[in-house]
Amino acid sequence: MQFDFAVIRPQLRYKLLSSTVTPRPIAWVSTLNSDGQQPNAAPFSLFNVFGEDPPVVAFAILSRSLDDRKDTGNNIRQHGEFVVNLTVRIISIG
């Protein structure tokens, strides 16, 4: 199926484009805070799976600025570890 975006109304263009990325899955990345005592979990919608052998999941930590980085990135840089928690939807057929 092909759509000619030059002739489609903007509202329909938006609906077609947004339907390709929704529902957007969320990965919860968990870390420990700077003193290693308190857990921190943050949602990330900018993530994807890049392979299965070896298994590779990547996510993007977008800092607000160089001077205002997000806690998740700071925690990972300090401790060198994190956990990516994914939601799996199981569909039953039949």
Cβ neighbour number for residue 69 with a 10 Å cutoff: 14
H/E stretch holding 10: helix 10-18
C-alpha span between 85 and 26 (Å, rounded): 9
For 22-66, what is each residue's pLDDT tens digit? 677 788 999 999 899 999 999 988 888 888 888 888 888 888 788
User: What pTM was estimated for this model as a whole?
Assistant: 0.65
Q: Which residues of 9-26 are buried (b: 16+ CB within 10 A; e: fewer)?
A: eeeeeeeeeeeeeeeeee
What's the gap between Cα 29 and its chain centre?
Answer: 9
Domain positions in the chain are 23-85
For 10, residues 6+ apart whose C-beta sits below 8 A from its C-beta are none
